[in-house]
Chain A
Amino acid sequence: MSVILVFLLVIAGFAGWWLSHQRLTNKPWLEQGLAGDLVGLDRSALPTAKIGLGVFLTVVGCLFSLFTSAYFMRMGLSDWRPLPLPRLLWLNTGVLVLSSIALQCAVVAARNGQIDMVRLGLATAGLTALAFLIGQLMAWRQMTEDGYLLSSNPANSFFYLITGMHGLHILGGLVGLGRTTVGAWNGARPERLRLGVELCAMYWHFLLFVWLAIFALLAGWAATFIDICRQLLT
């Protein structure tokens, strides 16, 4: 359970930082009226939707940390046989990186008001993300053809489970991206479009990060890395 505890520690750090700006040690009964120094404590200047997405991504991060924790705990048992990852995953990773870059371009374009570039970026991001999903499915097929079936070993089970869960999140993201894209073509208000594109980009970058983390996990590098850290500590 150490992975999830480390994750929660990070969250607790953020929460602590935020709480420390809420003047928790002041005596509220002495502060009557609308004193000027209370301004700034009311709410964050960030758009509410971004904060909402941030909270949601925390939950998603929590979910994948828990899968990772379960992975490490199950890995320690005797019947674990690591599996060779298909080469295709490297290509998929590249495609997902492209997708994120395309969205980042769309964000820049949206800030500069270049609607054509926004449309181009959104379309590229959507298509590359779809390509990633198709690539993942092909990787699954390749694995089953090579005899690495879902239930034959826990390492296989975790591979299908975690990549599947990540794929579902990409799929959900595509719904949001689709809506933003439709808005970009149907003339949504510029500030609304910009917010939409920024939200998509935030989600995409996060899922790219999650993918890199689980790729490292499934390939066994994460375990090696932890082993090295442990050796350095002892």
Chain B
Amino acid sequence: MLSYLAKRILYVLPVAFGVSVFCFLLVHIAPGDPLTSVLPPDASQAMQDELRKIYGFDRPLPVQFGLWLLKALQGDLGTSIATGRPVAAEVWRAVGNTLLIALLATVIGFLLGSFFGFVAGYFRGSFLDKFASMLAVLGVSVPHYWLGMVMVIVFSVQLGWLPPGGAGPGGSAAWIWNWEHVSYMILPAITMSVIPMGIIARTVRALVADILHQEFVPALRAKGLMDFGVFRHVVKNAAPTALAVMGLQLGYLLGGSILIETVFSWPGTGFLLGNAIFQRDLPLLQGTILVLAMFFVGLNVLVDILQGLLDPRVRRR
């Protein structure tokens, strides 16, 4: 187990380094100077030079990268060009909000997806299987931002049951766990859950069908085990892979929430990214993407390690 752990961590370090290089370069592939958006068009050369010095854009790229990485490792992601506030604080607050609905969406998607996948795999070829498989295809084909709009149209505009967007009367700063606030989470979380639902349903269906074909299942039945007992064994065998897929899906949702958050004006990372893009606030863009990507990388490792703990076969690969 220890060597597996070490191998995973050694593998991920260069990837994490590469990710940070990419995020750093993001600011520099942008056309024009990173400062053009804040400088008034008639700024004098002296003023431009001074600002460039303050932000450190006058040094050679590798030096800039080294300094930036050193600061980032200490939790300093620079200053937002648009607001002048530290990027790290803004990103952390937004990550919390995104995590809230992404977690809820993953749980909903996992429960529904496992259920449909299980039914489909258990009764393979039946009407139920076709129905569940169709549902899975729908889940991966639907443009989720559009689904969000349709949800708003049905549940907010037509029925008036749920609020169309925002994060409640107190905003995200004064979040309280009561119905008034929770009602704002429901539509975005359900919309978001459709993607992991489809993918988990597909995975679980394949897993269950595969496990039922293995020799130990007839053996269990021959031993006199009833359906429920066999079911328990199938769940135990399918769980590690299904959980791993769920973990990865959480990562995808964290990074992919931007479109859904825009539809529902949810004050998470997507909302922050949207602002960063439109104000051309490159440090904010860079910081948000770095944090989200690192979250995703870390989650990948965590999933691998958990899978190794749960399933000894994985460790030997």
Report if A and B associate in a common complex: no
Binding site for B on A (CB under 8 A): none
